[in-house]
Amino acid sequence: MEVIKATDVMAVKIDKFPYKGKLLDVKGISVRWLSKFGDDGHGYPDYGLRLFTAAPGGEIPIHNHFYHQTMYILSGSFECWKFDPQTDRLAEKVVCPAGTSIYIPSMEPHGMRNLSLTEEATFLCCICNVYEEGGAV
C-alpha cells in the first residue's frame, strides 16, 4: 500500500499536447500524478490516476491517446468536446459541472476548457490501457 497527499505531489505545468504530428498549445493546465503502474510502450503507464488543475479559462486542445480515460470533475465546470476522428470537426459539446464523470475511449479526439474566467477548476483522471490476447486494443 502507498499513501500520499495530493498536495505532497509536485504539480507539473503542461504546455503542449501532441495531435496528428503537431504540438498544440495547452492553456493554464497542471497535473499531479497520484499513482501510476506499468508502461504501455508509448511513454504512459498501464494505469494512472492524475489530478488536473485548470486555471481560469484553462484549456486542453483537441488530442487523443492510446489509453482509455475516465475523468471526474471535482470543482468548477468544464466544457468538454468530442471531435469527429475523420474531420476533426466538433461533434459534441457538453457542460460538465462538479460531480460529473466523463469516459473517453481509446483514440477518440477530445478536449476541454474551464468555463470560469475567475476560478480554478479541478478533475481526477484515471487512465488505463486495455489489452486483448496478442497485444493492446
Give residue limits of the domains in the chain: 32-136
Question: pLDDT tens-digit profile of 63-94?
Answer: 998 889 999 999 999 999 999 999 999 999 99
pLDDT band at 110 (very low <50, low <70, confident <90, very high): very high
60, 75, 76, 94, 108 from 119: Cα distances, Å: 16, 10, 7, 19, 28
Out of 5-19, 30-44, 47-61, 100-114, least confident range:
30-44
User: Which is higher by pLDDT, 44 or 52?
Assistant: 52
How does DSSP classify residue 6? G
| pLDDT for position 99 | 98
| pLDDT for position 46 | 80
Give the residue among 130, 110, 125, 102 at the shortest CA–CA distance from 35.
Answer: 125
17, 29, 80 from 135: Cα distances, Å: 25, 32, 30
Cross-strand pairs, 136: 131
Q: What average pLDDT score do residues 114-123 get?
A: 98
Dihedral of the alpha carbons of 5, 9, 12, 17, in degrees to the nearest 10:
-70
pLDDT greater than 80 at residue 21: yes
pTM, to two decimals: 0.90
CATH entry 2.60.40.790 includes domain 32-136: no
Cross-strand pairs, 31: 12, 52
